[in-house]
Amino acid sequence: MAKLLIIEDESDLRQVLGYNLTQAGHEALTAENGAIGLRLAREHRPDLVLLDLMLPDLSGTDICRMLKEGADTKDIPIIMLTARGEEVDRVVGFELGADDYVTKPFSVRELMLRIQAVLRRAGAPEGAKTDVVEFGCLRVDRDAHRVWVGDLEVELTALEFKLLLTLYDRRNRVQTRSALLDDVWGIQADITTRTVDTHVKRLREKLDKARDYVETVRGVGYRFVGSPDEAGV
């Protein structure tokens, strides 16, 4: 599961891209202008940025330059989304260190292939495909969105599934409620940290004997244990 940031002012395109990335097993953050995009890139350090060249506030090439100048953001790969007739900007973008570009209108499938290629080159997690997690009595098929505890399949909602994988992928590290809200529910969600508790409780109930893999860290958040032995399951 890679974390991607979409900086694009066209809301339809932003939504389509966000939807397709989520379907492919990635996390998608979205920004409607350059200022928000820069802030999210610095705060969340995504594995890849999809960067529109023509934005209402800053140009894509400016953003590209600022990301490449930032110590925390310079290694984030960038795919530029350009319209026809923006060749000059595209060349500038490459000079500034963008990794790839696609010209609008593009097929989502083509863009997804480009994304996989750039993530692979960057050594970032590539998302879902045929990836099966085996952890003690827990087994998760990321691609099929299926979970088993022992021999029994557990029915999780899409949100619970995402919550489980988000915790698992950062096992042995405490995840704060607000970080989980950001990463599982999305940054614009109009919900409170209490929602996290409710969903973790429900997830644990469904996980039955694997429930102790998810620990409560009092006053902070949750932690997926580092090894099955830790939970004694």
Q: Which residue in the set 16, 35, 54, 133 belongs to the binding site for Ca ion (CB under 5 A)?
A: 54
Residue 62 contacts Ca ion per CB under 5 A: no
Residue 9 contacts Ca ion per CB under 5 A: yes
Contacts of 175 (CB under 8 A, 6+ apart): 166, 167, 183, 221, 222, 223
Residue 58 contacts Ca ion per CB under 5 A: no
Supply the minimum distance, in Å, between the C-beta of residue 63 and Ca ion. 12
Side chain identity, residue 232: G
Residue 187 contacts Ca ion per CB under 5 A: no
Determine the interface stretch with Ca ion among 9-17, 90-98, 144-152, 197-205 (rule: CB under 5 A): 9-17
Supply the minimum distance, in Å, between the C-beta of residue 9 and Ca ion. 5
Helix (H) or strand (E) holding 29: strand 27-31
Location of structure tokens 């000059």: 88
Residue number of the CB closest to Ca ion reads 54
In terms of CB distance, is 82 or 166 closer to Ca ion?
82
With b meaning 16 or more CB within 10 Å and e meaning fewer, what string describes 115-150?
beebbeebebebbbeeeeeebbbbbbebeeeebebe
Could you tell me if 70 and 42 are in contact, meaning their C-beta atoms sit under 8 angstroms apart? yes
Supply the minimum distance, in Å, between the C-beta of residue 53 and Ca ion. 7
Residue 212 contacts Ca ion per CB under 5 A: no
Could you tell me if 60 and 127 are in contact, meaning their C-beta atoms sit under 8 angstroms apart? no
Q: Which residue in the set 52, 86, 99, 160 belongs to the binding site for Ca ion (CB under 5 A)?
A: 52
Determine the interface stretch with Ca ion among 5-13, 29-37, 66-74, 101-109 (rule: CB under 5 A): 5-13
- CA proximity to 36, closest of 13, 56, 65: 56
Interface contacts to Ca ion, rule CB under 5 A:
9, 52, 54
